[in-house]
Amino acid sequence: MSVIAELLKLLIPAGLVLYGMYLTVRVMIDREFRQKQEEVRSRNSEAITPIRLQAYERMTLFLERISPNNLLLRLANGAPTALDLQQLLLRDIREEFNHNLSQQIYMSQPTWDLITSAMNEVMALINQAAAEVPPEAPAIDLSKRIFDKVIQQNAQPVGPALRAVKEEVQQTFM
């Protein structure tokens, strides 16, 4: 019995020391792992932040470019008839959208939904105005009808989306 008692006197403190060392090493490894994760996040954030800001800038520019006022000022002289202008306006909106489609990964889903909704509203407004003007009418007639519809709505169709983009930038980066 005394041999077992002597052996236990040695093994129990040695086991406790070993367990203490295990816990200490484990805490140190966990701390090191968390520090490495923070470093990686920090480096990723430094790289992604400018790209995200650029995405918000591009979507703001997209919304401004498809605003009926800006769209008509930019493209009204490019078509002789109302039908040609309608097609030109719709094609330009689609091309702008497709060009900026990848920017959606940098913004929240509700903001992206507002952007696509604004684009669809502008396209619907153009189509509604075009339905009220004969296809062979001069393009200026369609332009006037689109302006009339915007005035009737008393709001720009891209307004809510622009506000959402600005708010998201302010919440995210300021």
Whole-structure pTM value = 0.75
* Lowest-pLDDT range of 12-26, 38-52, 53-67, 125-139: 38-52
Return the percentage of the chain with pLDDT > 90, whole number. 72
pLDDT above 80 (res 174): no
Q: Two tokens at 28?
A: 């140190």
Which tens digits make up the pLDDT trace of 101-136? 999 999 999 999 999 999 999 999 999 999 999 999
**What is the pLDDT, as a whole number, of residue 42?**
79
Residue-averaged pLDDT of the chain: 91
The letter for the amino acid at 144 is: K
* pLDDT band, residue 148 (cuts 50/70/90): very high
* Rounded CA separation 26/29 (Å): 5
What does the pLDDT read at residue 95?
95
Whether the pLDDT of residue 172 is over 90: the answer is no
Q: What is the mean pLDDT of residues 50-60?
A: 92
Q: Is the dihedral of CA 16, 19, 21, 27 positive or negative?
A: negative
Q: What is the average per-residue pLDDT within 12-26?
A: 91
